[in-house]
């Protein structure tokens, strides 16, 4: 009888070795689905893809340190999740591909939520809202958006400004759209007179003009004079990473509820603009 039981046990283990091995715990079938959050926890970090020359979302200070409102928000979210935020500068026009290829875990860098992007990646709830503004030189004959007809404008390659301009009815009347690595470079060309206007988000444009103390050189058209529409911001993740997305939304809600997001916003803008 004992011999029969021994043979049976050996047979069972031999079959089990094909999967988990004799004496090892079989995998939990409940855990074979979305492992995105488990992978982040196990690695102890999430990798944030960003343009590190896009103030005040993310940029280098005079000491070369990476700073910005989105840097602070991402660090706080990571701390609450019990992991570390690692920042990886990338070419902005390829950032979605970086995400889908697994080179980064999320995009947190004034990422506009658009229908086109929503087809490719997942987004957290909107945490901030901006608009795509028109910047011209002081004294420019451009007084309204309609005045861009026949003019040359600059914007950042791969930005929502590029999409917003292309979709606007004035687009067919614009003489030329020049695409730059960053809005900072575009503004330099505007100051030099090589282009007639720059389209960028208001958060970025106002910060650049105020920080560089060039407000006397540039003028931002008001909403009444013309802009290229509102731009909601969200954190971007891979479409399949729903478990990780749920955790990000949870901590974003916590940060809003306890005033932490408002505190970070006030440090950068002097007011709470977090939604």
Give tens-digit pLDDT for 108-153. Answer: 999 999 999 999 999 999 999 999 999 999 999 999 999 999 999 9
Instruction: With a cut of 90, say whether residue 19 has pLDDT above it.
Output: no
pLDDT at res. 206 = 87
pTM above 0.85, yes or no: no
**For the residues 259-267, what does the mean pLDDT come to?**
94
pLDDT band at 6; cut points 50, 70, 90: very low
For 83-109, write each residue's pLDDT tens digit: 999 999 999 999 999 999 999 999 999
Who has greater pLDDT, 4 or 126?
Answer: 126
CA neighbor of 184 nearest in space, from 198, 163, 164, 166: 198
CA neighbor of 74 nearest in space, from 271, 211, 238, 260: 260
Instruction: With a cut of 70, say whether residue 12 has pLDDT above it.
Output: no
**For the residues 31-58, what does the mean pLDDT come to?**
92
Alpha helices by DSSP H, listed for 82-155, are 95-100, 115-120
What percentage of the chain has pLDDT greater than the value 70? Answer: 87
For 206-245, write each residue's pLDDT tens digit: 888 887 667 789 999 999 999 999 999 999 999 999 999 9
Give how far the C-alpha of residue 143 lies from the chain's centroid of Cα atoms, to the nearest Å. 31
Taken in order of first residue, the domains within the chain and their CATH numbers are 36-127+234-269 (3.40.190.10), 131-230 (3.40.190.10)
Instruction: With a cut of 90, say whether residue 32 has pLDDT above it.
Output: no
Residue recorded with tokens 């970025």: 204
Instruction: With a cut of 70, say whether residue 67 has pLDDT above it.
Output: yes
């Amino acid at each position: 009888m004992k011999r029969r039981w021994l043979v049976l046990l050996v047979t069972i283990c031999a079959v089990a070795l094909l999967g988990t091995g004799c004496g090892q715990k079989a995998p939990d079938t409940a855990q074979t689905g979305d492992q995105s959050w488990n992978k982040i926890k196990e690695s102890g970090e999430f990798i944030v893809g960003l343009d590190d020359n896009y103030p005040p979302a993310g940029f280098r200070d005079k000491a070369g340190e990476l700073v910005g409102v989105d840097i602070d928000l991402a660090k706080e979210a990571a701390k609450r999740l019990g992991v570390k935020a690692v920042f990886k500068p990338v070419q902005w026009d390829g950032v979605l591909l970086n995400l889908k290829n697994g080179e980064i875990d999320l995009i947190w860098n004034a990422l506009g939520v658009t229908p086109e992007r929503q087809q490719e990646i997942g987004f957290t709830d909107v945490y901030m809202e901006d608009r795509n503004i028109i910047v011209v030189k002081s004294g420019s004959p451009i007084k309204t958006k309609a005045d861009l007809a026949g003019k040359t404008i600059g914007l950042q390659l791969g930005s929502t400004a590029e999409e917003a301009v292309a979709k606007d009815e004035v687009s067919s009347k614009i003489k030329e759209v020049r695409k730059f690595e960053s809005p900072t470079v575009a503004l330099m060309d505007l100051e030099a007179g090589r282009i007639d206007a720059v389209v960028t988000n208001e958060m970025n444009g106002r910060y650049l003009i105020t920080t560089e103390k060039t407000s006397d050189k540039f003028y931002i058209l008001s909403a009444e004079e013309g802009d290229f529409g509102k731009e909601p911001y969200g954190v971007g993740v891979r479409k399949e990473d729903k478990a990780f997305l749920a955790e990000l939304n949870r901590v974003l809600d916590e940060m809003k509820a306890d005033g932490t997001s408002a505190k970070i916003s006030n440090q950068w803008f002097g007011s709470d603009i977090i939604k």
